[in-house]
Amino acid sequence: MQRDISMPRWDNAPFPVLQAHAMTTPSRRDLANAIRFLAADAVQAANSGHPGMPMGMADMAQVLWGDFLSHNPSNPKWVNRDRFVLSNGHGSMLLYALLHLTGYDLPLEEIRRFRQLHSRTAGHPEAHATPGVETTTGPLGQGLANAVGFALAEKLLAQRYNREGHSIVDHHTWVFLGDGCLMEGISHEACSLAGTLGLGKLIALYDDNNISIDGEVHGWFTDNTPQRFEAYGWQVIRNVDGHDPDEIAQAIRTAKAETARPTLICCKTTIGFGSPNKAGKESSHGAPLGKDELAATRQALGWPHPAFEIPGEIYAGWDARAAGAAREADWTARFARYAAAFPEQAAEFSRRMRGELPADFLAHADAYIARLQAEGPVVASRKASQMAIEAFAPRLPELIGGSADLAGSNLTLWKGSKSAAGSAPDANYVYYGVREFGMSAIANGLALHGGFIPYDATFLVFSDYSRNALRMSALIPTRAIHVFTHDSIGLGEDGPTHQPVEHLASLRCIPGNSVWRPCDAVESAVAWKAAIERADGPSVLVFSRQNLPHQHRSAEQVADIARGGYVLSDPADSRFDVILIGTGSEVELAMEAARQLDAQGVKARVVSMPNTSVFDAQPLEWREGVLPSWCRKRVAVEAGVTGFWRQYVGLDGAVIGIDSFGASAPADALYQHFGITAGRVAEAAKAL
């Protein structure tokens, strides 16, 4: 039985002074101390950061990375590597120290430049900037949710591709997390689902140090965390001494032996371990130790080396390059045997992990889009979205969907959908339950793992619940597709709590976020194709509840949809007096307004702009051709807040929309009540 070490050991007593010693074979504590002092020195040099967590978790990190983590520093993208996620990302120097010491391309100079402009050691880990960082963490709890996505990806890929005697997908996902991660509601969403899905290769190590920025957490965090996770269906290993390597190692061995449940290892630690005056206190959490305290810590831990100096013996003890290369070489040999036995599966797996689409996919998608244009279905764009999934998904085994308990409303299921909760080799759908935030963060993890293009879904108004995960999709960035239906007051009777107003504008304001709001089935299919093609960031697809009319287009106009904004209709003589701009369900209003204006002798061009950011990225020649600067008479119409559209119509133009909350009534009555009508668009145009 493990002893109870629920109280930090050095909260109220000074550290013993240890004598410096000549080092031949470094001890585990020596190796862990290298992390502690790289972290503390970097924070001191930057005069900002969080030294306490790296100092407290250093022993845990040494055991995991030294004895268990399967990785190759020379190839951070080796497909069968273990994934390590630092959910408590404020302790970023722990991860940077690990990457540097084990041999990743993160030289000491970058450690010295911690938190400085253009360094590869940002204040919180950034996946796009630093080799070996699996996901961008900082907002607490999201790394944990990403890790659920990593583990789910591993499980589903193993089900699809592994064969008897050929386990080509076989790795673990490891998470470091703290009290803050567990206080965040997303931890409940993600961990509850992880237990339900039986993600046995997900192992979380909890830094239970009883401290957050505001002090001792007993005043605001008194959950029985072990019981909470047991209720989720996790294996929980309690009261592990987070500074005892033997206890840590035994806990990890126990965790790995459990294959049907994820595991939480509760490690009792002391924040700021080694600091004589700040260990166990919030003063070590988010500020440098200070020059004098850092010197005292060196003496207390017997670390005589100057700042940023690591002895050769320590580097040798940490160097994982040879072992990592051997691991990857062994896997490569095993994969070659697999490929010889199962060539089709091997080729598909390799293609998916490279992030490449099937060679015939784009041609197939274009043929489907052309057929839609010829057939002209009149459907809600949410239905058109489902039709596109039905057309594309059979060609894309990497496509994995899901919805936050709204599959029947979001229309995200297709004929080939199979639940990820089972053991089907072609499982491709996640029933997320009412967990919007967790859903989108898990989708980010699925995308980051590789081998999947995830799409998730809920009502547009509930994008608020997943907002920070959507922001992280763009910031990381991830190849994720976020589907939102019931996109306006067209939702109808559910009323203002369910009617999005400001959401389209706010989602468009996220840098790198590609937001599509299509006006009919054809634009919906183009939006799906563009989202699937996009490899360098997320896409948001926004669809209507109500039916939308088909718009007539030439083949050239169909091709132009992909430019984000294009001329849908011009007067017969091509001369126009005013430009009407619409998206989604309001393109129909713009077209009707153009007909009304024409009857009154006013010639109108109609521009459909399903994606403003894609349009903005077009060459000036294209943008000027669609919205010529000589025509200042412009009216935009969209069932959302109006301010966003001023950049396209100017202060001298007009915007028809809604700058209040909605109301509970049938959709047609609401559009009339709020004045979002073709007649009002026409009146606004004539008034310019």
Burial 632-661 (b: 16+ CB within 10 A, else e): ebbbbbbbbbbebbeebbeeebbbbbbeee
Alpha helices in 64-107 (DSSP H): 92-102
d(CA 592, CA 583): 14
Q: Among 141, 230, 684, which Cα is nearest to 444's?
A: 141
Residue 565 tokens read as 């904004």
The answer to whether 611 and 515 have CB atoms below 8 angstroms apart is yes
Give the C-alpha separation, 168 to 171, whole Å: 9
Q: Which of 193, 206, 171, 485 is nearest to 334 (CA)?
A: 171
In the block, which residue shows the tokens 């109808």? 492
Contact at 8 Å (CB) between 607 and 627? yes
Q: Check if the beta carbon of residue 438 is closer than 8 Å to that of residue 186.
A: yes
Decide: helix, strand or coil at residue 637.
strand
Is position 436 annotated as part of the catalytic site? Answer: yes
Give the span between the Cα atoms of 579 and 606, in whole angstroms: 6
Query: Can you tell me the distance from the alpha carbon of 318 to that of 655, in angstroms, rounded to the nearest whole number?
Result: 62
**436, 588, 592, 638: which one is catalytic?**
436
Alpha carbon 238 to its chain centroid, in Å, reads 30
DSSP secondary structure string for all residues of 257-306: H--SS-EEEEEE--TTTT-TTTTTSGGGTSS---HHHHHHHHHHHT--PP
List, as one string, the DSSP characters of 140-205: TTHHHHHHHHHHHHHHHHHHHH-BTTB--S---EEEEEEHHHHHSHHHHHHHHHHHHHT-TTEEEE
E strand or H helix at 323: helix 321-341
Strand locations in 570-643, DSSP E?
Answer: 578-582, 604-608, 634-637
User: Could you give the residue numbers annotated as active site?
Assistant: 436
